[in-house]
Amino acid sequence: MKPSLSFPSRLLGLTLGLGLAPLLCAGITGQWDFNNPANGLAATIGQPLEYFDGPSGQTKSQTQFGTTSSFGIPDIDGAVANVMHFPVNLPTMGYIMRHGIGENGGGFYVNQWTLIMDVLFPAASSGEWRALLQADVFNAPDLDHGDTSPDAELYLNESNGLGILSDYDGEAPPDTWVRLAVAVDLAANPPVIAKYVNGVKVGEQTGTLDGRFSLWPTEAAPYDYALLFTDGYADGVYTQPGYINSLQVHDRRVSDGYIAVLGGPTANGISTQVQESLYLTAVTPSPGATGLPPAVTFEAVITNSTATLDSGSVRLTLDGEAVVPVITAGANETTVSYVVPGLLPPDSTHRFVLTYSDSAEPPTTLNNQIGFSVINYTNILLPAPLYFEDFDALNEGQLPSGWVATHFTDVSGSSRDIDFGNLDSAAYDTWTVVAASRFTGSFVTYSDPDSPQDWEDDYRRVLTANPANVVNGEWIQNLAEGNFLFGNSGYRNGLSQVLFLQTADFDLSGKSNIHLAFHSLYEQNQDSFGSVEYSVDQGQTWRPIVYLLHGPDIIRTVGGDIDAAATLSTEHNDAATWSDPPGVARGGNYGDLIGVTPDLWSTLAPYISARLDDNPSESKRVEIFRLPEADNQTQVRFRLAYCGTDSWYFGVDNFGLYSISTVSEPSRIESVQLTDGSLVLNWSGGNPPFQVQRKASLADLEWQNAGSTTSDRTFTEPATGSAAFYRVVGQ
């Protein structure tokens, strides 16, 4: 966002009047290291920082200067360092950074620049939005130009990622010094904002020439600055207190190699003397990545610059242990890859360290550290199935023998044709079997072959992976392979899409501990609803398995419990409607979709499952459910229902019935109490024996055992007064 001051035309007149534009020196135009006790905002290079609200404002009164030791925070690279502590900043607060850069990149603003900062945000700031850089010199919405957003241009988000506009990459862990860098070239084709954490590129996003990511130039003095650690939102809700050790700005986009040589933070600040060497152009996992699947592959591409790689110098460790990577040399780059054997433990934290040297004399050795964490998953153990359907023996458009689908979906015009390449055709007006490979390409939508391409390929999201799906020790990356069962609502003409399906009856006589498991490819929309139920009397009565709906549509009691009857009976103006039989209105609520009769709705709270709106991965799950009334029954059938009003979809693959004596469920801490000077934890789920583990900071790599294993679901230890994080590990 840019303020309403129209300085470009004014500057044009000024430039013509002088006959020449100011000459700028390339390179570092500003650096601040906070080493001057007499003037904490003094510049090492360029002009000093200033308080946005002046020398007598709140920013100065709440800003502190000291050392890592005096503040009681971690040292930098093992050494005590001078730092500045900044507070939560209201829109009137923050720091003026006069960057010393003139207009460049062919525009009226600063379109080519690089910002590097060494910062630490304490644990209390983690999980919160933290503004880093505000390009709007007034720190307020540009109402004259219809821009009501007071956003800064760069944030750390709630997941500690770096970026803006829903595009966040990397991670800045709490209580950890990190070197963040942003290198901008809005004159490039395409324009690019590259983001780095500790010398490693973690992502890129795009912008526009003279757009929101451009800065006000020196020609706009006194508005020749950007703001630090503030945005325009009231109460400073998107700013957090933290510490900074060094800050550097360039009048160009520096190279990936330049930032790679800078590496991570050092107590002496950001170097001004950089000799470019080798650098990483790609690395997987992304440094700081969280919630990764347990099957991890490391890959890094080392690119030559003025020097070449000494391939014999490459070393890779995982959690401090040397591993043997595969090294593949190319003309100007070398790929280093390593597949971690087996699965990494759930909710575990790890670190790769890649070390390599160039062929110069003397050689430059670089060290890249790539920390990451694995999602908290459960390994579902499934025996051989009693019944299993993967739909692969069927043709598209078929259903298994004895399965019957009905629907109340509007079809008209060309949508009456059977066309599996058209989401609006009769091929998708009911539950059907379809090839998973179709969802790697594009579809016609709304029976309009000329619809925009980004709508046509939107259904590639159907195959989105979920890192938490683990079955029998294997990460299930592809929930649908070959063919799968599919119920569609999205990209259809008409008002409502209502789909029902009943399976054949299964004979489970002599079988106990019956479970249903299937691969669910479901995506929630704010008005869609999915259900799975079963019957033991050929569909005369139905029993609940699960009901899927938008979380905000779940009605709760004053005490916070789910009110199932109210949730299912409440009318929604966007819920699907239909007539059954003709002339009898149905729908408008979710209860009309289910088979359980209304007199039992009040008992269904345990089966109502909130799902996230428009999230392509959250509900992509291996679902498993106990069916207590199916044991030893001769006629067990299932009923699937799905409805929407141009919403999303519900897919099913690997539909199986199993006899399982026990199911391993994750332990969940239910309560934490301080009682008589002791910390008391209570948890549910999981199978004993249990081990309680703790660590002082989420940035710590290793969990430490607290006490010995126990068969109870409670744990007590003396409270020390120090903060700690706890988890429970069961069998």
Query: Residue 339 forms beta bridges with which residues?
Result: 297
Residue 593 sits at φ, ψ, to 5 deg, of -85, -15
Residue 85 sits at φ, ψ, to 5 deg, of -100, 125
Coil vs helix vs strand at 189 = coil
Strands (E), 536-583: 543-550, 577-579
Q: Report pLDDT for 666.
A: 54
Q: Report pLDDT for 661.
A: 85
Q: Report pLDDT for 413.
A: 56
Q: What angle do CA 454, 460, 464 make, to 5 degrees?
A: 130
CA–CA dist 597, 276 (Å, integer) = 72
Q: Report pLDDT for 357.
A: 92
Q: Is the pLDDT of residue 8 over 70?
A: no
Q: Report pLDDT for 304.
A: 85
User: Contact 260/116 with Cβ under 8 angstroms?
Assistant: no
Q: Is the pLDDT of residue 456 over 90?
A: no
CATH number of the domain located at residue range(s) 668-729 in this protein: 2.60.40.10
Q: Is the pLDDT of residue 162 over 50?
A: yes
User: Contact 432/486 with Cβ under 8 angstroms?
Assistant: yes
Q: Report pLDDT for 713.
A: 76
Domain spanning 279-375: CATH 2.10.60.10 = no
Residue type, 347: D
Q: Report pLDDT for 13.
A: 28
User: Contact 29/272 with Cβ under 8 angstroms?
Assistant: no
Position 453 confidence tier, pLDDT thresholds 50, 70, 90? low
Q: What average pLDDT score do residues 338-349 get?
A: 94
CA–CA dist 403, 474 (Å, integer) = 30
Contacts of residue 665, Cβ cutoff 8 Å, sequence gap at least 6: 378, 685, 686, 687
Residue type, 529: F
Q: Report pLDDT for 122.
A: 95
Least confident of 488-492, 520-524, 596-600: 488-492
CA–CA dist 470, 342 (Å, integer) = 12
Q: Report pLDDT for 24.
A: 32
Q: What average pLDDT score do residues 3-25 get?
A: 30
Q: What average pLDDT score do residues 161-178 get?
A: 91
Q: Is the pLDDT of residue 665 over 70?
A: no
Q: Is the pLDDT of residue 26 over 70?
A: no
Q: What average pLDDT score do residues 584-590 get?
A: 92
Neighbours of 142 (CB within 10 A): 18
Higher pLDDT, 411 or 269: 269
Position 23 confidence tier, pLDDT thresholds 50, 70, 90? very low
Q: What average pLDDT score do residues 189-216 get?
A: 94
Contacts of residue 152, Cβ cutoff 8 Å, sequence gap at least 6: 131, 132, 133, 134, 135, 164, 227, 230, 231, 232, 238
User: Contact 83/245 with Cβ under 8 angstroms?
Assistant: yes
Percent of the chain exceeding pLDDT 70 equals 91
Neighbours of 554 (CB within 10 A): 18
Q: What average pLDDT score do residues 381-397 get?
A: 97
Q: What average pLDDT score do residues 566-574 get?
A: 95
Q: Is the pLDDT of residue 707 over 60?
A: yes
Q: Report pLDDT for 559.
A: 87
User: Contact 369/264 with Cβ under 8 angstroms?
Assistant: yes
Q: What average pLDDT score do residues 574-601 get?
A: 92
- The fold adopted by the segment(s) 7-16+30-262 is Jelly Rolls (2.60.120)
User: Contact 236/88 with Cβ under 8 angstroms?
Assistant: yes
User: Contact 488/649 with Cβ under 8 angstroms?
Assistant: yes
Q: Is the pLDDT of residue 15 over 60?
A: no
Contacts of residue 599, Cβ cutoff 8 Å, sequence gap at least 6: none
Higher pLDDT, 664 or 348: 348
Residue type, 372: F
Handedness of CA 531, 534, 539, 540 (dihedral sign): negative
Q: What is the DSSP letter of 53?
A: T
CA–CA dist 562, 565 (Å, integer) = 9
Q: Report pLDDT for 2.
A: 34
CA–CA dist 471, 654 (Å, integer) = 12
Position 720 confidence tier, pLDDT thresholds 50, 70, 90? confident
Tens digits of residue pLDDT in 596-618 = 999 999 999 999 999 999 999 99
Position 414 confidence tier, pLDDT thresholds 50, 70, 90? low
Query: Residue 432 forms beta bridges with which residues?
Result: 486
What are the DSSP calls for 320-360, one per residue?
TEEE--EEEE-SSEEEEEEEPSS-PPTT-EEEEEEEEEESS
Cα–Cα distances in angstroms (integers) from residue 223 to residues 9, 136, 141, 174, in the given order:
15, 10, 16, 34
Spell out the domain ranges in the chain. 7-16+30-262, 279-375, 380-659, 668-729
Q: What average pLDDT score do residues 499-525 get?
A: 97
Q: What is the DSSP letter of 524?
A: B
User: Contact 674/389 with Cβ under 8 angstroms?
Assistant: no
Least confident of 80-84, 111-115, 545-549, 717-721: 717-721
Out of 1.10.606.20, 2.60.120.260, 3.40.710.10, 3.40.50.970, the CATH code matching 380-659 is: 2.60.120.260
Least confident of 12-16, 133-137, 396-400: 12-16
Q: Report pLDDT for 10.
A: 25
Residue 550 sits at φ, ψ, to 5 deg, of -65, 130
Q: Would you say the CATH fold of 668-729 matches that of 279-375?
A: yes
Q: Report pLDDT for 238.
A: 93
Average per-residue pLDDT for the chain: 88
CA–CA dist 715, 505 (Å, integer) = 47
pTM over 0.75: no
Edge-to-edge strand order for the sheet containing 497-502?
404-407, 497-502, 637-644, 529-535, 543-550, 608-611
Query: Please, is 685 exposed, middle or buried when counting C-beta atoms within 10 Å of its C-beta (0-12, 13-18, 19+)?
Result: middle
CA–CA dist 251, 29 (Å, integer) = 6
Position 685 confidence tier, pLDDT thresholds 50, 70, 90? low
CA-closest candidate to residue 117, choices 249, 267, 256, 272: 249
Residue type, 439: F
User: Contact 130/242 with Cβ under 8 angstroms?
Assistant: yes
Total residue count of the chain as it appears in this document? 731
Q: Report pLDDT for 149.
A: 65
Which residue is listed with tokens 């007539």?
A: 579
Q: What average pLDDT score do residues 291-307 get?
A: 90
Q: Report pLDDT for 580.
A: 86
Q: Is the pLDDT of residue 148 over 70?
A: no
Higher pLDDT, 627 or 416: 627
Coil vs helix vs strand at 105 = coil
